A and B are shown apart, each in its own frame.
Chain A
């Protein structure tokens, strides 16, 4: 409930805002259960973090000012209403004189309508602007992320990034809509209200205001502890969700080995951990509510007694007492809300930090400047692909581990198909990722027809080099769009031909043919089908340079043979690097390069290497060469 206890427009209508939050919360995407809780930033930097939002808030600053003004006026008119009530009681009612009543009545009505109108207005003013700010921040985040290098994405789980694009954006929007405005409004209302109370009756005011101090202190104390518990529970909820996800995703394994009881015990233990945290939350909440409900009531009770004595002694009027009590009630909310507002502002600061963590990262293009001066290029020559002394290690590799690629030299002649083989984990896939500059080499250089790839713009380079990845990814789009990603302008014949080459004719038999939606929002295809479409995507544009990473691994023997046949024609017209695990895939290539210990240790035709290189023979046939004699 602490969560839903937001400051309200009207001090007395704390509920309205709750309601708004609830709609919002219910439409808010759930934060990733796997996302670790955000790190608490140092307190002093919260304001500095929030100030970074200014460029985004700036275009809507007048809306924010207008909304704040409306909220302030509405809250103040809500404060004036008790005064009018007092006048009615003390004036017309006390004097049994109904003639003055009409004027007061009209005043009351006008104030009431004003209050309602202003509340509506303060929301109405910022509704669209705030949605726009959120949209723009999200769009910028997305655009930025797309341009960050793959090594950045290696470090960040997509769930982490997603929570920045959804729940953090939401937190920031909410901050701009409420805490920002109500920190100002509520403080002013509080001060005004105290002023009114003191002017009505300073003794009563003193009695009423004094408990506000412990109230604020206690509230913020409990809020702090509560939000720590809430964070813990979020965390544990994430762990629980992980166990659940794994047990469902790995259901075949669990069923195969009959291990569901073990998993159930693990789940239960996690769930009980979560329950104990939730119970702690409930206890904190109970204390918090006791304070919130109890202290003001106590103060009111005492001021009532004192007020009655004063009225009896004639030192104050009944109307004053009614107005006073009314005002005091109105001030409960601004006081209670302070703790929450500050806590939420802190949260918003954290969200802002998380947003800028991504926005401050350097995009891939920024690194180009540091790539060094252009080297002598032999552009124009049909030189094929040349790797010279290429070294690479993953940025997050342990410091003491050797480079994954430690000086790769390889020349793929123009028009040639080179197979790349090596043991699992030898760096074949990594090597292919260097060609389109998904990763940057640490040292050495790669040239395409004599041009250093660092001299080409990424866009141009990736136009020249087409890839099929080991993990075939399809996007939520039609089959046609997915394939034509490789060459958006390609004519229809090319598309059809690409389907044929990849033996992806099944696409024509889908419910809506090649226009059938696939990917996460569409029809789910088998691994083999996805792999064939990814292959079609790679070959559709008849690229100058083709990189295929184990393109046939998920195909059954029949299909594999057909794809090989068709692929030969494509490979004949292009310079290609093909990662291969199998002799059958190797057979597609003119020559084979063996990658071992971070270097190319042998290059030659399949048959040459089979005869001359024992490592290669073992890799391809599993036949081990010992003491020069073949043993099986």
Chain B
């Protein structure tokens, strides 16, 4: 039993995006184990910890290379907004100066105003265009870098991380979280900047034009701020509720569609509809609430703005009537006030968008700050060269090795185990006996908490990744296929292999016939319909991959569970021919697999309780003997 299974006891706090994605990936992943991440995807209870300061450092490192361009963009948008806000001022100038001057046949002011207006319009237009293009370049560079880092880091992180945090969470970091940041960069930031700048400019202009009216106008900011704050609070609560509701709609929906066979076979339709209606109604309710609270906010903030405009206009009119204000200034005021109040509702939303983006950034920073627990060696040691004529296998030695989960629960108490080069060892035992952990230590998916695992005397921790992977290859029971052709999937074992080598590997494992029978043979896309590849066939592909990789040590972790007997026999034949002389560790449910091993280990609760050749153990009186007898009986 893996770390995931024993430790994933937290109840899920749903993440709709990851739930969707993981759920969608499920039908593609055939084996039960490959389907499991979908189940884990929603288990967001325990998130990746974020070290303090990590988000800020990430932001700095992402923005750093673009400092100059960012500064240029800022200048552009500042000038652009200024140019845009000059309009009403020019209108006021035109009315107050242009008209009287024109009456005196002085065209100068009018020409100046018109030129100014058109110039500003052109400037604002061009700058707007340039700004969007420039910020697009910067944004995309940042996003690309962010995606690249997340991907590389996720790949570098060790298996215990992936088992602890589940695929859904890593996937949502690189998809929905990056999307959230992208939304802010693409849409939010520019508008937020424009809104803030226009607020500042307009406020200044109003104050400069007439400080009395200016102050009165600015006073309106207070009530509107209060409305906005109240709305934001309410909308956040509703937003959270709606997220939870939609997540549950998605989970129920995908669960039903992916499990349509049992749904129909067990006549669950009516019961499902009832359960679905609960989530669906909840979602509809929260949607309606969101719309209603928006309606209230729009009405109240707009009413405030309109009342304020009325007040200013009346007062302004009085001032004009008294002669202490120019008509043009009042006109400009009215135009500016409309602009001032326009984007108010918007700001509330941008703050939301900004908040969710910073939360996303924080999560991404958390992922990136996570140190791989199986690090690359600082000073790698090479494996000793194979001497001419030596068998291709290498010796494996577990020296005083113990392993515990990070929770402290001990899985494997300290033990020693030496597997001579070329020996094939079968490991049997009940679920949870520690067989898989043993295999994962040997594949260096985990590092032992005590002692060392060596390959021909070299600690696994001192090997570079490429060298380690040339030496040790593990085939697991989850026979995941990557999108692409069958041939490409096999070639993962050795990317530079020729087509002949790929086909030879398939032949050696007995997979050639079924692959050749697929619609396009080895070039059949495994994700396309029509290419129905059964669980057993997937496992054969996984074996062909391992055969092609031709490792010194081969680990099979329940890799034959879905094979029928002929399939398993083909695997066993391949072990004797193509993989002869390799060291092999075989974890099996099936006793037929065990028979071909040179040696059998029986494990129980982390201890190796029986160790010997199959013949010895069968002849003995231990657990293995009893099991084997029962199995043998079934064949006669």
Question: Which A190-233 residues have a C-beta within 8 angstroms of B?
Answer: none
Contact indicator A621/B565 (Cβ below 8 Å) = yes
Contact indicator B564/A581 (Cβ below 8 Å) = yes
Which 6 pairs show the lowest CB-CB distances between chains A and B? A120-B299, A112-B306, A282-B136, A258-B469, A527-B32, A297-B121
CA distance A521 to B151 in the complex (A): 27
Min Cβ gap B32→A in Å is 3
Contact indicator A249/B25 (Cβ below 8 Å) = yes
Contact indicator A290/B480 (Cβ below 8 Å) = no
Question: Which B10-33 residues have a C-beta within 8 angstroms of A?
Answer: 11-12, 14, 16-17, 19-27, 29-33
Q: Which secondary structure dominates where chain A touches chain B? A: helix
Interface centre among B124, B246, B317, B352 (most CB of A within 10 A): B317
Q: With A248-B162, A561-B630 in contact, do A105 and B310 touch (Cβ < 8 Å)?
A: yes
Min Cβ gap A287→B in Å is 7
Task: Identify 17 residue pairs between A and B in the complex whose beta-carbon atoms are under 8 Å apart, listed by A's number.
Answer: A1-B191, A15-B346, A109-B306, A112-B309, A113-B306, A117-B299, A121-B295, A161-B253, A166-B253, A173-B287, A262-B492, A285-B136, A322-B334, A329-B335, A521-B14, A522-B11, A584-B634
12 extra A-B contacts, CB within 8 A, seeds A27-B243, A398-B519, A581-B562? A18-B349, A112-B310, A138-B249, A158-B254, A245-B171, A249-B480, A255-B443, A258-B468, A259-B495, A300-B121, A326-B338, A610-B635
Question: Which A10-43 residues have a C-beta within 8 angstroms of B?
Answer: 10, 12-16, 18-20, 22-24, 26-30, 32-34
Question: Which A280-324 residues have a C-beta within 8 angstroms of B?
Answer: 281-283, 285-287, 289-290, 293-294, 297-298, 300-302, 304-305, 308-309, 311-312, 318, 321-322
Min Cβ gap B553→A in Å is 11
Query: CB-nearest residue of chain B relative to A297?
Result: B121
Instruction: Check if B378 is an interface residue, CB within 8 A of chain A.
Output: no
A residues in contact with B72, CB < 8 Å:
none
Contact indicator A287/B129 (Cβ below 8 Å) = yes
Min Cβ gap B441→A in Å is 14
Contact indicator B129/A289 (Cβ below 8 Å) = yes
Instruction: Check if B583 is an interface residue, CB within 8 A of chain A.
Output: no
Instruction: Check if B103 is an interface residue, CB within 8 A of chain A.
Output: yes
A residues in contact with B298, CB < 8 Å:
9, 16, 116, 119-120, 123
Min Cβ gap B240→A in Å is 9
Picked from A98, A257, A473, A476, the residue with its CB within 8 Å of the CB of B492 is A257
- Per-residue CB proximity of A519-540 to B under 8 Å, as 1/0? 1111111111011001001000
- Per-residue CB proximity of A259-279 to B under 8 Å, as 1/0? 110111001100110010011
> Which of A45-53, A142-150, A337-345, A373-381 lies at the interface?
A142-150
Picked from B250, B269, B469, the residue with its CB within 8 Å of the CB of A162 is B250
Picked from B291, B307, B592, the residue with its CB within 8 Å of the CB of A123 is B291
B residues in contact with A309, CB < 8 Å:
102, 110
- Per-residue CB proximity of B413-442 to A under 8 Å, as 1/0? 000000000000000111100000000000
Question: Which A133-162 residues have a C-beta within 8 angstroms of B?
Answer: 134-135, 138-139, 142-143, 145-147, 150, 153-155, 157-159, 161-162
Instruction: Check if A557 is an interface residue, CB within 8 A of chain B.
Output: yes
Instruction: Check if B387 is an interface residue, CB within 8 A of chain A.
Output: no
Contact indicator A524/B40 (Cβ below 8 Å) = yes
Q: With A97-B321, A246-B483 in contact, do A297 and B124 touch (Cβ < 8 Å)?
A: yes
CA distance A4 to B183 in the complex (A): 11
> Which of A88-96, A406-414, A492-500, A594-602 lies at the interface?
A88-96
CA distance A560 to B90 in the complex (A): 88
Instruction: Check if B411 is an interface residue, CB within 8 A of chain A.
Output: no
Contact indicator A166/B246 (Cβ below 8 Å) = yes
Picked from A32, A116, A162, A278, the residue with its CB within 8 Å of the CB of B299 is A116
Picked from A13, A135, A252, A278, the residue with its CB within 8 Å of the CB of B136 is A278
Min Cβ gap B380→A in Å is 14
Instruction: Check if A372 is an interface residue, CB within 8 A of chain B.
Output: no
CA distance A173 to B290 in the complex (A): 14
B residues in contact with A88, CB < 8 Å:
313, 317
- Per-residue CB proximity of B235-252 to A under 8 Å, as 1/0? 100010011001111111
How many residues of A are counted as interface, with CB atoms below 8 angstroms from the partner's CB atoms? 199
Picked from A13, A27, A525, the residue with its CB within 8 Å of the CB of B345 is A13
Contact indicator B430/A166 (Cβ below 8 Å) = no
Interface centre among B31, B482, B536 (most CB of A within 10 A): B482
Instruction: Check if B284 is an interface residue, CB within 8 A of chain A.
Output: yes
CA distance A127 to B292 in the complex (A): 6
CA distance A26 to B12 in the complex (A): 21
A residues in contact with B37, CB < 8 Å:
248-249
Instruction: Check if B288 is an interface residue, CB within 8 A of chain A.
Output: yes
Min Cβ gap A410→B in Å is 20
CA distance A146 to B99 in the complex (A): 74
Query: CB-nearest residue of chain B relative to A425?
Result: B534
Instruction: Check if A554 is an interface residue, CB within 8 A of chain B.
Output: yes
B residues in contact with A72, CB < 8 Å:
none
Q: With A124-B295, A139-B276, A467-B265 in contact, do A293 and B335 touch (Cβ < 8 Å)?
A: no
CA distance A298 to B126 in the complex (A): 13
Instruction: Check if A438 is an interface residue, CB within 8 A of chain B.
Output: yes
Instruction: Check if B303 is an interface residue, CB within 8 A of chain A.
Output: yes
Instruction: Check if A587 is an interface residue, CB within 8 A of chain B.
Output: yes
Picked from A134, A241, A329, the residue with its CB within 8 Å of the CB of B287 is A134
Min Cβ gap A75→B in Å is 13
A residues in contact with B217, CB < 8 Å:
none
Instruction: Check if B159 is an interface residue, CB within 8 A of chain A.
Output: yes
Q: With A29-B250, A272-B144, A436-B265 in contact, do A396 and B295 touch (Cβ < 8 Å)?
A: no
Q: With A241-B171, A248-B170, A520-B39 in contact, do A619 and B565 touch (Cβ < 8 Å)?
A: yes
Q: With A312-B103, A583-B634, A622-B566 in contact, do A27 and B545 touch (Cβ < 8 Å)?
A: no
A residues in contact with B449, CB < 8 Å:
none
Q: With A26-B356, A304-B91, A523-B9 in contact, do A16 and B25 touch (Cβ < 8 Å)?
A: no
B residues in contact with A93, CB < 8 Å:
317, 320-321, 327, 330
Picked from A119, A279, A308, the residue with its CB within 8 Å of the CB of B95 is A308
Picked from B84, B126, B323, B529, the residue with its CB within 8 Å of the CB of A396 is B529
Contact indicator A297/B87 (Cβ below 8 Å) = yes
Min Cβ gap A563→B in Å is 13
CA distance A301 to B118 in the complex (A): 6
A residues in contact with B171, CB < 8 Å:
241, 244-245, 248
Contact indicator B292/A251 (Cβ below 8 Å) = no
Q: With A311-B99, A520-B38 in contact, do A282 and B140 touch (Cβ < 8 Å)?
A: yes
Interface centre among B22, B24, B167, B255 (most CB of A within 10 A): B24
Instruction: Check if B114 is an interface residue, CB within 8 A of chain A.
Output: yes
CA distance A124 to B549 in the complex (A): 65
Instruction: Check if A511 is an interface residue, CB within 8 A of chain B.
Output: yes
Instruction: Check if A559 is an interface residue, CB within 8 A of chain B.
Output: yes
Contact indicator B267/A462 (Cβ below 8 Å) = yes
> Which of B389-397, B452-460, B470-478, B612-620 lies at the interface?
B470-478
Contact indicator A517/B11 (Cβ below 8 Å) = yes
Instruction: Check if A397 is an interface residue, CB within 8 A of chain B.
Output: yes
> Which of B61-69, B172-180, B207-215 lies at the interface?
B172-180
Instruction: Check if A382 is an interface residue, CB within 8 A of chain B.
Output: no
Instruction: Check if B521 is an interface residue, CB within 8 A of chain A.
Output: no
Min Cβ gap A559→B in Å is 7
CA distance A523 to B569 in the complex (A): 36
Contact indicator B21/A33 (Cβ below 8 Å) = yes
Picked from A22, A143, A424, A531, the residue with its CB within 8 Å of the CB of B273 is A143
B residues in contact with A586, CB < 8 Å:
634
B residues in contact with A101, CB < 8 Å:
314, 317-318, 321
